[in-house]
Chains A and B, each alone.
Chain A
Amino acid sequence: MALSKKSKEAFLGPLNVNNPVLVQILGICSALAVTVQLKPALVMGISVTLIVAMSNVVVSLIRKSIPTRIRIIIQLVVVAALVTIVSEVLKAFAYDVAMQLSVYLGLIITNCILMGRLEAYAMSNNAFDSLLDGLGNGFGYAWILVVVAFVRELLGSGKLLGYPVIPQWCYDHGYENCGMMLMPAMALILVGCIIWAHRAINDEKK
């Protein structure tokens, strides 16, 4: 199936050149909060991707019947319903991760990426393109989370997905985990570094 240029752009753009976190600097708060370990970051990334994609589709389908003046409320209702479903599913099947994500799962409702995509894209495009756009933005957000969480868990607690990966002899020879990595400030600096590299690469291309 050949995709139109617009559809391709809707999916691929947010992954790199128009990344919601790196370029639009949206969704930073949750990127700081859930990236201490890789597992919650992965779950958070998947949840946000699902919710953005689904809410984009739903809003795009009903966009012609939404009264303009109350569109934000209607968008919120759609997002809130989806967030509730996801959080209930997580509580049922992955209780410990849901507890780790705690309030940030519910706060997906207020994630700027969602409202931004609904307003900027889903309200004026068809359902299929909106789905691609939602998936693209969700993955664009998720890969940043995963990269940041990878570095933070590796250097901060010497583990990946909860399994120790730094061999014991490193510790025996004086290596120590960097406590700074466990603090939100370091997530901000790491995101800054990714933005730095991203700009450096993309500016060279131009």
Chain B
Amino acid sequence: MEKFYQIWKKFGKNFEEGGKLSFLSSFYDAFDTFLFTPNTTAKRLGSQIHDGSDSKRTMILVVLALVPALLFGMFNVGYQHLLATGQIPCTGLTCELWWKAFGFGLLAVLPFIIVSYVTGLGIEFIVAQIKHEEVAEGFLVTGFIIPLIVPINTPLWMVAIATAFAVIFAKEVFGGTGYNIFNVALIARAFLFFAYPSHMTGDSVFVRTGGTWGWDSTMTAVDGFSGATPLGMLATSADANMLPVGFWTAFNGLIPGSVGETCGWAILLGACLLLCTGVASWKTMLSIFGTAALTAWLFNMFGPDTAAAHFPWYMHLVTGGLMFGAVFMATDPVTSARTECGKWIYGALIGFMVIVIRVLNPGYPEGMMLAILLGNTFAPLIDWCVVRVNINRRMKRA
């Protein structure tokens, strides 16, 4: 390792001012910090204000936390494909089919990850080069989340455009990583949602019935197949008491949905990592889940006579993007509220809005994206109010 570091540093001489590759210095910086910083650890003695962690290490932890959801998402993409094309026998999955599902999903999801990273990092590198700054690490997580929150049938060029739009207009114009008001990945999804609505909602976008890279391309969906998500069925249901899916089915996540959002336990596994390492705030998460459950329960009790309002409160928590959004997107330290009390209010706003949108707006079966973006908008105001209240209280006490 030490030897490699020496070679790397020697190679780095080329990128210094006046060196022959100096115009690529931000590339070198990026990889240098990516590989070797922070190369100090917190000292064992004395009191510490904070640990030796920096934003790069934080980002890597979030990426690690996302891995279970991604792996499961890949499997589920393949599984839904097999299900839709009628390849799964009634005896259940064989080992061979299991690998086929995973391989199919891997091939289907991998291009999304590549497109998202190439587009986003490309823009980051160009901007860093123009502004003569280091490449910020912010896109590491964003680029990983974008593939997880889009339907599997979204065309890749749309993902590229949405990523570019989000990186430029939601991040770079505000000053880059750490200055953005809105969650960048959600802006990418919101762009897709409003620009190409036919590819973001409906029955045919969440399950790939055709092939991937020519694999299984002769397959067609079996008769009576519907690729609707549970919330999608709910929104269009005429029967006010219909229950599209059971609790454990939804929690296990073998249902149609955006790539990474379906599986409860994969997301909770990531949540454990985030909470244990202190990267995400448990207050935000708890507040979102609590308020969403309460709001949904109130709709159960006193709501209008529609299928969405009758949908049990515990079901709301495990369907759609609520769990994924609450764990990975609402807790984004840049765009969420910073004050401890503010986190409760911020989470409550999101939890309340997501259920209101789901139940009361027939046009939008799912409201997590819009709820979090609204929460992002209000986060600075919430912080400001909390700080003001605190100052006033202490002024009175003085």
A interface list, Cβ under 8 A from B: 174, 176, 178-181, 183, 189, 192, 196
Interface-lining segment among B41-49, B70-78, B193-201, B324-332: B193-201
Query: Which residues of the partner chain B approach A178 to less than 8 Å between Cβ atoms?
Result: 161, 195-196
Most buried by B among A174, A176, A189, A192: A176
Judged by DSSP, the binding face of A is: helix
A178 to B199, CA, bound (A): 11
Query: Which residues of the partner chain A approach B196 to less than 8 Å between Cβ atoms?
Result: 176, 178-179
Query: Which residues of the partner chain B approach A196 to less than 8 Å between Cβ atoms?
Result: 173
A163 smallest CB distance to B (angstroms): 23
- Return the chain A residue nearest B161 by Cβ: A178
Most buried by B among A174, A178, A196: A178
Interface residues as binary, B148-162 with A (CB distance below 8 Å gives 1, 0 otherwise): 000000010110010
The contact size tier of chain B is 10 to 19
Residues of chain B from 77 to 125 with CB closer than 8 A to chain A in the complex: none
The one of A179, A189, A192 that contacts B195, using a Cβ cutoff of 8 Å: A179
Contact between chains at B197 and A179 (CB < 8 Å): yes
Judged by DSSP, the binding face of B is: helix
Query: Which residues of the partner chain A approach B197 to less than 8 Å between Cβ atoms?
Result: 179
A181 to B191, CA, bound (A): 10
- Return the chain B residue nearest A196 by Cβ: B173
A174 to B199, CA, bound (A): 12
A-B contact pairs, 20 of them (CB 8 A): A174-B155, A174-B157, A176-B158, A176-B196, A176-B199, A178-B161, A178-B195, A178-B196, A179-B194, A179-B195, A179-B196, A179-B197, A180-B191, A180-B194, A180-B195, A181-B195, A183-B194, A189-B169, A192-B173, A196-B173
Query: Which residues of the partner chain B approach A179 to less than 8 Å between Cβ atoms?
Result: 194-197
A3 smallest CB distance to B (angstroms): 40
In the complex, given contacts A174-B157, A178-B195, A189-B169, what are 11 additional A-B residue pairs having Cβ atoms less than 8 angstroms apart?
A174-B155, A176-B196, A176-B199, A178-B161, A179-B194, A179-B195, A179-B196, A179-B197, A180-B191, A180-B194, A181-B195
B306 smallest CB distance to A (angstroms): 27
A8 to B195, CA, bound (A): 43
Query: Which residues of the partner chain A approach B155 to less than 8 Å between Cβ atoms?
Result: 174
A176 to B158, CA, bound (A): 9
Interface residues as binary, B132-163 with A (CB distance below 8 Å gives 1, 0 otherwise): 00000000000000000000000101100100
Interface residues as binary, B161-200 with A (CB distance below 8 Å gives 1, 0 otherwise): 1000000010001000000000000000001001111010
Most buried by A among B155, B195, B196: B195
